[in-house]
Amino acid sequence: MEGLSGPLPPPAPPSTQPLAVLFACGQNAVRSPMAAALFAQVFGRTIYVGSAGVRKGELDPFAVAAMAEIGIDISQHKPVTLEELEDWEGLNFDLIVTLTPQAHHRVLELTRTSAVEVEYWPTPDPSAVEGSRTQRLDAYRELRDQLLARIQQRFARPTGWNE
């Protein structure tokens, strides 16, 4: 199709940025709070972010330590279940990112009649790593860095977010 000054440019793609994102994992104690905190660091208050788990666990001190290394404090995070979150504020998210198989199955059950987008990002469980404190902490660092890279890739954010 021709415009007055030549071919028309292709239409702009629709915005794929959600307004609210939820990260879900098994116990809301390691993966989902880390992902939510990283997401909040990248996006600030422009996109609402939350986290929840299938069951309620205890916040993992290695997760707190790995995040503190990059200047993010998750020490005050209080794990919540998907059901608690649904009761308190509803699952009114545009996108729910599940990080474990059990979270993925539970979220699909809870949202089967909703128009929410659900993505599964398989992530390793760093709490399963045994060894010295350094070896264990390295597993959390690796998870942290993988989550950040995935967030930046999925949401097309530039690197160097904290420089």
- pLDDT (0 to 100) of residue 16: 66
Averages of pLDDT over runs of 10 residues in the chain (163 residues) are: 46 64 97 98 92 95 97 96 86 93 95 91 95 96 97 72 46
Among 93, 88, 26, 30, which residue's Cα sits nearest to residue 54? 26
In a domain, 5, yes or no: no
Domain count, the chain: 1
DSSP H helices in the chain: 31-43, 61-68, 82-89, 101-110, 133-154
State the amino acid at position 28 in one-letter form.
Answer: N
The CA distance from 55 to 103, in Å, is 9
Residue 137: inside a domain:
yes
Burial class (CB in 10 A: 0-12, 13-18, 19+), 84: middle
pLDDT at residue 136 in the model: 96
pLDDT value at residue 114? 85
137: left (phi over 0), alpha (psi -120 to 50) or beta: alpha
Query: Is 116 within the bounds of a domain?
Result: yes
Whether 3 is covered by a domain: the verdict is no
> In CATH, what number is assigned to the domain containing residue 123?
3.40.50.2300
Domain boundaries, position 105: 19-150
Q: Which residues of 102-141 are buried (b: 16+ CB within 10 A; e: fewer)?
A: ebbebbeebbeeeebebebbebeebbebeeeeeebbbbbb
The pLDDT score that the predictor gives to residue 48 is 93
Sheet of 48-53: strand order equals 48-53, 20-25, 95-98, 117-120
Is there a domain that residue 144 lies in? yes
Answering whether pTM is above 0.95, one says no
Distance from C-alpha of 117 to C-alpha of 132, rounded to nearest angstrom: 39
**Residue 46 falls within a domain, yes or no?**
yes
Residue 160 lies in a domain: no
What pLDDT does residue 15 have?
Answer: 52
In a domain, 13, yes or no: no
